[in-house]
Chain A
């Protein structure tokens, strides 16, 4: 998994429910990111965190929340305020110092039922 693990792989949400997606890393790196991917489209940044207990909104943060209580964990909650949550969610870390790009997790596919 390259040091980054996302779970679950598939997740189903009922209307009006909050769900939390997990992202864990064991590489002791600071920066972690959440992206959303819709079919046939690129990746859009939801939230990112560069240090424990701190995070910033990305381009499409509305309807989402995050926490960064531990360096190894950056969970994403998709709230009921997110009106179109069905998508593929990707977590990423900066694997190498000096910023040599992201390493992505395997993704979580969220579907509203």
Chain B
């Protein structure tokens, strides 16, 4: 899951298995959450988002789950492929009214053949 510090959390999974990446967010007033994927040397790419009035949203091979009670967000990737290897960030909308996102530390996902 997400954590503060210099060492990026890592997750290793076998190709074809499902991956679950977790994120604990900080602000109970946040009403919008996003998952991004970042490959080495590139900018983050949008994967999926969810608003606080939902607890689950599905995309192509990805599902985001939101548990507002414990301020927890997760990203599930089905049938993981080598191209899924990347760093994954969760982000929450800021509480100040401006359109600002606050990002977690990220989790590095490695796919084993």
- A residues sitting closer than 8 Å to B (CB atoms) are 6, 31, 33, 35, 40-45, 48, 50, 56, 58, 90, 92, 94, 99-107, 109
Are A101 and B34 also in contact (CB < 8 A) when A31-B99, A40-B8 are? yes
B100 to chain A, nearest CB (A): 7
Are A105 and B43 also in contact (CB < 8 A) when A41-B105, A42-B104 are? yes
Check if A102 sits within 8 Å of B98, measured CB to CB: no
List the B side residues contacting A44 at CB < 8 Å.
Answer: 103
Bound CA span A44–B100, Å:
11
Check if A40 sits within 8 Å of B100, measured CB to CB: no
Instruction: Name the one of B8, B32, B44, B106 contacting A104, with C-beta atoms under 8 angstroms.
Output: B44
List the A side residues contacting B7 at CB < 8 Å.
Answer: 40
Check if B6 sits within 8 Å of A40, measured CB to CB: yes
Check if A42 sits within 8 Å of B89, measured CB to CB: yes
Check if B99 sits within 8 Å of A41, measured CB to CB: no
6 contacts between A and B (CB under 8 A): A6-B43, A35-B103, A42-B105, A100-B49, A107-B41, A107-B42
List the A side residues contacting B103 at CB < 8 Å.
Answer: 35, 42-44
Q: Closest B residue to A88 by CB, please name it.
A: B41
Bound CA span A94–B99, Å:
8
B87 to chain A, nearest CB (A): 9
Are A50 and B99 also in contact (CB < 8 A) when A40-B6, A42-B105, A100-B49 are? yes
List the B side residues contacting A58 at CB < 8 Å.
Answer: 100
Check if A101 sits within 8 Å of B8, measured CB to CB: no
List the B side residues contacting A107 at CB < 8 Å.
Answer: 41-43
Q: Closest B residue to A59 by CB, please name it.
A: B102
Bound CA span A50–B49, Å:
22
Query: Does B101 lie at the interface of the complex (its beta carbon under 8 Å from any beta carbon of A)?
Result: yes
List the B side residues contacting A40 at CB < 8 Å.
Answer: 6-8
Bound CA span A35–B102, Å:
11
Bound CA span A25–B42, Å:
17
Query: Does B45 lie at the interface of the complex (its beta carbon under 8 Å from any beta carbon of A)?
Result: yes
Scoring B residues 91 to 113 as 1 if CB is less than 8 Å from chain A, else 0, what string do you get? 10100001111011110000000
List the A side residues contacting B93 at CB < 8 Å.
Answer: 99
